Amino acid sequence: MEQARSTLPPIYLPPSNSQTELVHAIRAAAATGRPLLLEPGTHFTTPGQLNTIEIGLRGLDIGTGSAPLPFVARESSTAVVRRPDFSIPAAAPDDNFGLFFVPAAPQDLSNAVWKPGKDEQGLPIEFAVVIGGSISIHDLTLDCNMGRQGLEALKANIAQHSTMLGFAPKWYSVEPAPDHKTPRRAYVVFRNVTVKDLMTVNGAFADDISFLYFQALVVPIIKEVVVRNITSTRRVGPHRGTIAFGGLPERVDIHTTDVIFLNAESNVDFTTAPRQADVFTRSHWSLNGVKAHTINFGMATRVIDLTATALTTTVGCQIQRVGGTVSNSSLTVGSGENGRFYQLDHFTFDAVAWHLTPTSAGAVTGLLLGSSDNLASAVTFLRNKFGLIPSATFSSGQLINSVHSDHAPGNSIIATFKQCEYHAGFGSASNTPIAVVKERGTWRFAIEDLHGLNPDVAIPRHPEYPDVIRIVAPDKSFP
């Protein structure tokens, strides 16, 4: 749930050229529990590497607002939080944050539940996961100002961790265990982080808004993340994106965004990370009305269950190692490896319109379905429409694609297609089939959806792969 607004009088901060007043005001608001309202104008962040702001149990609420003045009418306007010009040094461009929030050290550990664990060197420790305060940031413009940092001549990923707005857990060393030998650490995670009614501008090189594990690998990194009404515009470079998850919250609720890139990706196996619960449970994500140029789900293991509706992508989409449902959505998929849907865990695409992008040579790669890590993949396409991006021309390819896992015998797929529509240019010639079914497993297609096309042309068998089962039958025969 979103953080309740404080009844204490707010702190009003007028705009200025100072690069320290905003951080000082944030710390004062967090210490007192008073809301911080930034008056319309520009408020600058503080330059520096690895600058973080600790927030305690009183939490933090930041928004736009003007101090009431008698007999003065104010025009409504939004405050701007801006990274100063040339504040990211070329010699050390990474980890130069705009505003980066971490929980403060716990004040009371009397109810902490201590568990055995290991530190980064594999030495024994005891740890506890402690729930901290909440943060709400709303009604602001975030000016990443990445076009005026002098980074253009550097490598594309040189400043990728210099997020404009970041949130992460933090761990603190505390008194040792009762044996007086075993070190103890307290992992502190935010209870709730809400970001809403924000516009991000002039982003590049790094993500605009990031939810990370940073220096504390723990599950969850935040109990609940709520994202509402985020827009992104005037991006000055193609690298990174608007909203990024490199860690795993317990719950994520994203509603009504129009952004460049929504990314949930990490190479960490969060099932083995220190965690609050005795038994690992997946992170639950709800997406509604999310629009993005590109959406990517690419965690290292199956740690996310997704329920999404009214999604729109205009450039690309990849979903891997996820369970759940996407419904009533319009998804554009790029060419080549940019359309991978691997290791899906009983996933359903319901009433999704697909828009595939041909290569410059006119080849349609198609949705690339498959599995990995010797795990089975199961996916159902119900009432889907498979087409191309508007005005696209093509000469070869397929709408649905797969490759055979020669060196991973545990890889397999169960793919079911029911009540689907396929682009009229596919299915009647050998160089433009509807589907290439090469990955081992069972592929099931409803014969009604072929509208008289020869199944052996539309969905050709591959006799060199006897472990691939292709079934074309009435859709009522499929579960």
Half-sphere exposure of 326 (CA within 13 A, CB side): 27
Contact 217, 273 (CB under 8 A): yes
**How does pLDDT run across 265-277, given as a tens digit for each residue?**
999 999 999 999 9
pLDDT of residue 1: 43
Percent of the chain with pLDDT over 70: 97
Cα-based distances in Å from 361 to 140, 357, 358, 394 = 44, 11, 8, 8
Structure tokens at 91: 């010699």
pLDDT of residue 77: 86
Peptide bond into 220 cis (omega under 30): yes
Mean pLDDT of 434-446: 97
Structure tokens at 269: 């196996």
**How does pLDDT run across 176-201, given as a tens digit for each residue?**
999 999 999 999 999 999 999 999 99
CA dist 309 and 329 (Å) reads: 6
pLDDT of residue 76: 58
Domain boundaries, the chain: 139-477
| pLDDT beyond 80 at 326 | yes
**How does pLDDT run across 65-85, given as a tens digit for each residue?**
987 755 444 555 899 999 999
Average pLDDT, the chain: 94
Q: What angle do CA 314, 145, 247 make, to 5 degrees?
A: 60
Cα-based distances in Å from 48 to 42, 89, 142, 168, 431 = 19, 9, 18, 18, 56
Q: Which of 156-160, 286-290, 475-479 has the lowest mean pLDDT?
A: 156-160
Cα-based distances in Å from 23 to 8, 19, 34, 101 = 20, 8, 15, 11
Q: pTM of the full predicted structure?
A: 0.94
**How does pLDDT run across 359-384, given as a tens digit for each residue?**
999 999 999 999 999 999 999 999 99
pLDDT of residue 70: 53
**How does pLDDT run across 90-106, given as a tens digit for each residue?**
999 999 999 999 999 99
